[in-house]
Every structure is written in C-alpha cells, then in structure tokens.
C-alpha cells in the first residue's frame, strides 16, 4: 500500500504484499479519520467470508444517543441534544449519567490522579472537550473526547477491567425523550427570524427617513477613539466584557497586588463582583505606555486571545479601552508559573513533568494548526506558562503573538522573545515560521526533564 503525494511521487506505508488470489482486500476510511486495509481469507467453511453469520454482536447507542442512519444498525451514533460548547456557566446545563460495563479504550486524552468521583465529574463538566469519564477504585479519572470510537461492553455481571470501573457520559440535563431536539429548536428559530424580518421590513422605510433627517440636523464630527478599532463591536463579536477604568481600579484595590511584569505592562490581581454578590479572581494586565507599537500590540492581543478557547491556553475575559488606559483582563491561574513550579522543593515527579510537557505541546499545536488564523506565540518560556488548580499547563502572554493568514507560510519581523528560548532564525534574518515556537518549546521541555537552565549563545559568524 502506498500514498501518492502532490508531486506524483509515492510513499509506501506497507511493504508486505498480499496476493488478491488468496484473500479479499478491503480498504475503509473510518469516521474517525483512520484509513485501514483489511484482508479476508477466500477459504470456505464455518469461518469463511462467504458464510452468513447470524450471531454477529449487537451494537447499541448510549442513553440519549441514537443512530445517525436508522437503516444501519452497525453505524455511528449521534447525540439527541446540543453538544456542550465553550461559554460562561455552560456546565450548569449538563450532567453525567452512569453507564456500567462500558468503555471506549482509545478515546483517552487526559488523566487525573487521586480524584474522587465528584471531582472527576466536575472536571468533565468544566471541560467542553470532555465527552465522558471512566472512574475506578484506583481513584484515577480518565477523560475522553469525541469521537468516541471502538466502544466495548462486557457481558452481564462482568467488568471490563480489575478497577471496577464505570463510565459517566455527559448529556444535557433533562435531555430525554421530552426535551426539544436541535431540529425542533432550529424550526422555532426559523419562525422567529421570519417574524422579525417582516417587522423590520415594514419599518425600514420609516427608519431610513428618520436617519436622513437626523443626519441633516446633526453634523458634529465624532472624535476617533484612542483605542482604534477595539471597541464594543469587537467585544460583542468575541463575547468579551468591556470594563471601565473605575471598575478595574476598584477590582485591583488601586493596583495594589502585583503578579508579574511583562514586556508591555504589569499584571495585577483583582476581584470582580458578580450579580449574585460573589467574587471571581482575575488577572489585570495594565499597559503602562501608550507608544504606537504598544497600541498595535494591544489591538493584536485583544483580537487574538478573544478568539482562542483551549484548555491549555489562558482565557481572555474582557478589556478596558478608556482614554489613554489600556488594560486586558484574564482568568486568574492560581498556581503561578512553570518556572517557579520546576525549581521548588521537593522537585516535581517525572510523571508531572511529562504531563505538563504534553499539555504545552497541545496548546502550541492548537495555535499553529487548529485556529482559523495561524498564531505564532514568539515567546514560549516557563515564565509564560501558568499552572491551574489541577496543575494543567496554560500558555499565557500573547502580547508578542504574530498572526499569519492561512495562505502564508512565513513572515519577516523584528527579533522577539527571551534570551535562551529564541530560535536561530531570529539572528539570521531568516523567514519566521511556526518552527520558532517549536524551538522555544524545546528549552522548557528540556528544563522539565533535566531541571537545568540553559542558554544558547550564537556568534555573529
């Protein structure tokens, strides 16, 4: 078997040749993207391929899931409810239902150790990528994501492993047979759109005349905002909150507690009051200089982070663009930087270092391959990697991020980054690609392994 590349060359992926005279060959592209080749013996008898077997295993969908194609009893399943998406308090509308003797052994993407069942449940509800978790008596919680493939169910009275594990599947609360389907909700929205369109259409002419008269009577020019094109429209589009300077001044206690300093400003700890009188801790990055290059960095950072939603990246909550004040509000990450974690006493275990390194790689992969616009961070280092309450790594500080459109493969820009983590391309006037982040990732990856600092020195020659 071989793959034909775009330059008409071939790449063999399977060197063993099988004669079609002896076997039936079958190639299948599965729903999860795996391309597989199967061979079936042409021999006859009780196990022959030509024998009709009436004792095939039965397939069924989990509760609140149904067949995608009702005529294919061995086909894929679909959810009978709208899947969880990223958003505030979204986890309150979902629950986990227990399914015994069932597992999807190839769907693991995260492991949590020393968790009880309640903590395992909450970890899945807080993660929009989590589709199910498997929990056992060893207090290990395995999180799984879609697509869930190659599911297995043990016979009655038997478990599929020695951990006495059971599966908890995420579903919509009350999403049983009586709950409205996504299709029904779509029809309701269609009728609402039609009704609104009729009302808007009948008033369009009146509105046009009113605006024309208003434009004649008011000729005052609007002074351009110091913040450029970052305003309410951008906030609504990106689902961000616009803060006033007074709100953030009160939240930070007059910028009292400093968390850290970056290239373009200082980060302070703050507390925001919610509608239910509770408080949420945030990190407020205050850009203390209003030079032209900082203005551009502010716009870039708001636009970039506002579109990013990933478990290994710091989430942007909102911003302030009032007068000469430029501030960005992030979620607060409680356990500080990776740099402090690595060199504390006692030293972190090898398992923790391995898990953190994999999490960082997932975050970088998302920036490079899974965003609508490729994002180069340009300053990957332990000081820019934070650890959340579960010690999962979260990449922060996108103030140096460089965006690439999808049809670009490289860019030329000024030297960015931190000594010891800067790729050689920066010093050679070479085009900058996403590989500079891969190089910078190697340095903090080396540190979790060796717990040694390293600086690469490049001579002018």
> Can you list the domains of the chain with their CATH numbers?
2-41 (no CATH), 65-172 (3.50.4.10), 232-331 (3.30.200.20), 338-450 (1.10.510.10)
Q: Tell me which of 217-221, 230-234, 239-243, 393-397 is least confident.
A: 217-221
Both structure tokens of 44: 């006859």
CB-CB contact of 290 with 310 (8 Å): no
Lowest mean pLDDT among 45-59, 89-103, 266-280: 45-59
More confident residue, 153 or 180: 153
Annotated binding site: 286
pLDDT class of 221 with cuts at 50, 70, 90: very low
Cis peptide before 147, with omega less than 30 degrees from 0?
yes
Phi-psi category of 343—alpha, beta or left, where left has phi over 0 and alpha has psi -120 to 50?
A: alpha
Which backbone phi and psi does 38 adopt, to 5 degrees?
A: -115, 150
pLDDT value of residue 55: 66
Asked if omega into 346 is within 30° of 0 (cis), the reply is yes
| Number of alpha carbons in the 13 Å side-chain half-sphere of residue 99 | 22
Residue 246 pLDDT exceeds 60: yes
d(CA 133, CA 192): 38
As a whole number of angstroms, the distance between CA 215 and CA 404 comes to: 40
Longest dimension (CA), the chain: 93
Residue range 12-32: mean pLDDT, rounded: 73
- Residues forming a β-bridge with 272: 280
Q: What is the mean pLDDT of residues 448-457?
A: 48
Is position 379 annotated as part of the catalytic site?
A: yes
- Across the chain, what does the average pLDDT equal? 74
**Residue 270: predicted pLDDT:** 94
Any idea which residue has 């929205």 for tokens? 189
Percent over 70 (pLDDT), the chain: 62
| Helix, strand, or coil (residue 247) | helix
Q: What is the spatial distance between Cα 38 and Cα 41, in angstroms, rounded to a whole number?
A: 10
Over the stretch 412-440, which tens digit does the pLDDT of each residue have? 455 555 555 676 776 666 677 888 888 88
Higher-confidence position of 22 and 288? 22
DSSP code string of 397-433: --TT-EEE-TT---B-----S-TTS--GGGGTTPPB-
Of the residues 32, 76, 352, 379, only one is catalytic, namely 379
153-182: burial string, b at 16+ Cβ within 10 Å, e else: beeeeeebeeeebbbbbbbbeebeeebeee
pLDDT in tens, 290-317: 454 556 666 666 777 777 788 898 888 8
pLDDT one-digit tens code per residue, 57-115:
778 888 888 888 888 887 788 888 888 776 554 567 889 999 888 888 877 888 888 89
Instruction: Enumerate the known binding-site residues for ATP.
Output: 286
Q: Which of 81-95, 149-163, 180-194, 271-285 has the highest mean pLDDT?
A: 271-285
Angle at 268 between CA 455 and CA 274, to 5 degrees: 135
Distance of CA 41 to CAs 25, 51, 198, 360, 432, Å?
Answer: 9, 12, 65, 46, 53
> Which residues are within 8 A (CB) of 386 and not within 5 positions of it... i.e. 6 or more apart?
314, 333, 335, 336, 337, 338, 393, 394, 396
More confidently predicted of 96 and 407: 96
Reference 64, options 157, 134, 132, 160; nearest CA is 132
């Amino acid at each position: 078997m071989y793959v034909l590349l775009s330059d008409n060359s071939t790449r063999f992926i399977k060197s063993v040749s099988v004669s079609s005279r002896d076997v039936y060959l079958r190639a299948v592209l599965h729903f999860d993207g795996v391309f597989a080749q199967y061979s079936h013996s042409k021999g006859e008898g009780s196990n022959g391929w030509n024998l009709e077997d009436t004792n095939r295993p039965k397939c069924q969908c989990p509760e609140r899931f149904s067949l995608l194609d009702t005529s294919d009893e061995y086909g894929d399943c679909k959810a009978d409810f709208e899947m969880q998406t990223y958003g505030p308090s979204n986890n309150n509308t979902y629950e986990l239902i227990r399914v015994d003797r069932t597992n999807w052994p190839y769907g693991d993407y995260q492991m949590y150790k020393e968790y009880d069942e309640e903590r395992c449940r909450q970890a899945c509800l807080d993660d929009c990528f989590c589709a199910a978790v498997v929990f056992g008596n060893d207090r290990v919680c395995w999180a799984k994501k879609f697509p869930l493939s190659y599911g297995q169910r043990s016979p009655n009275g038997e478990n599929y492993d020695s951990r006495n594990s059971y599966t908890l599947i995420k579903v919509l609360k009350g999403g049983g047979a009586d709950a409205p389907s996504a299709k029904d909700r779509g029809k309701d929205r269609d009728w609402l759109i039609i009704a609104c369109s009729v009302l808007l259409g009948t008033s369009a002419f009146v509105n046009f005349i009113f605006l024309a008269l208003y434009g004649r009577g008011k000729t005052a020019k609007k002074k351009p905002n110091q913040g450029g094109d970052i305003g309410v429209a951008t906030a609504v589009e990106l689902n961000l909150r616009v803060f006033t300077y007074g709100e953030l001044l009160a939240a930070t206690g007059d910028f009292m507690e400093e968390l850290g300093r970056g290239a373009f400003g200082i980060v302070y700890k703050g507390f925001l009051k919610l509608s239910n009188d509770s408080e949420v801790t945030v990190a407020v990055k205050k850009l203390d200089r209003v030079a032209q290059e900082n203005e551009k960095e502010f716009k870039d950072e708001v636009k970039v982070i506002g579109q990013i939603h990933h478990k290994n990246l710091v989430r942007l909550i909102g911003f302030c663009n009032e007068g000469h004040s430029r501030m960005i509000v992030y979620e607060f990450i409680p356990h500080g930087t990776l740099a402090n974690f690595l060199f504390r006493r006692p030293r972190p275990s090898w398992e923790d270092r391995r898990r953190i390194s994999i999490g960082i790689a997932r975050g970088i992969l998302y920036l490079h391959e899974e965003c609508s616009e490729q994002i180069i961070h340009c300053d990957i280092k332990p000081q820019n990697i934070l650890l959340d309450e579960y010690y999962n790594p979260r990449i922060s500080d996108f103030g140096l991020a460089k965006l690439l459109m999808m049809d670009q493969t490289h860019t030329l820009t000024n030297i960015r980054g931190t000594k010891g983590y800067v790729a050689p391309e920066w010093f050679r006037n070479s085009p900058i690609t996403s590989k500079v982040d891969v190089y910078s990732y190697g340095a903090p990856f080396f540190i979790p392994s060796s717990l040694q600092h390293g600086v690469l020195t490049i001579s002018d020659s």
